[in-house]
Amino acid sequence: MQAQEIIRAIEQEEIESVKTNVQKESIPKIYVGDTVKVGVRITEGGKERIQPYQGTVIAMRNGGINETITVRRIFQGVGVERVFLLHSPRIASIKVIMRGKVRRAKLYYLRDRVGKATRVPQRFDRPL
């Protein structure tokens, strides 16, 4: 029991230090079904650039410092999924493009769909 409390305290300190970091703005409220644009830091040689990755959030895992989102997009006719650690220093920015209207917590059924069937209806009652 003692070890779990120590781990939670350390994780809380790390989350607070990420939130106070000047380079990273606060993470917006993200829901499953949202279309998001994630700015990922890519290092090529000695240079660093930010590569945007836009897609639909199909899954979320809440776990304090280990909070992740799974983003799916179609690239050249092939479905590509990436899992992003929200509190990672590799994430430069996250912007919500569109709110999605869904009735499930995980949208794994989108993997089997093709074309217009993969669209998620827009939701207007939540602000961006």
Residue-level length of the chain: 128
Q: Contact 96/28 with Cβ under 8 angstroms?
A: yes
* pLDDT at residue 18 is higher than 50: yes
- Give the rounded percent of residues in the chain with a pLDDT score beyond 70: 93
> DSSP string of 2-57?
HHHHHHHHHHHHHHHHHHT-SSSPPPPP--TT-EEEEEEEEEETTEEEEEEEEEEE
Domains by residue range for the chain, with CATH: 2-115 (2.30.30.790)
Give the pLDDT confidence of 38-53 residue by residue, as tens digits.
Answer: 999 999 999 999 999 9
Residue 53's CB is within 10 A of a number of other CB atoms, namely 16
Give the pLDDT confidence of 51-66 residue by residue, as tens digits.
Answer: 999 999 999 998 778 8
Give the pLDDT confidence of 98-128 residue by residue, as tens digits.
Answer: 999 999 999 999 999 988 999 999 999 888 7
CA distance 113 to 118: 6
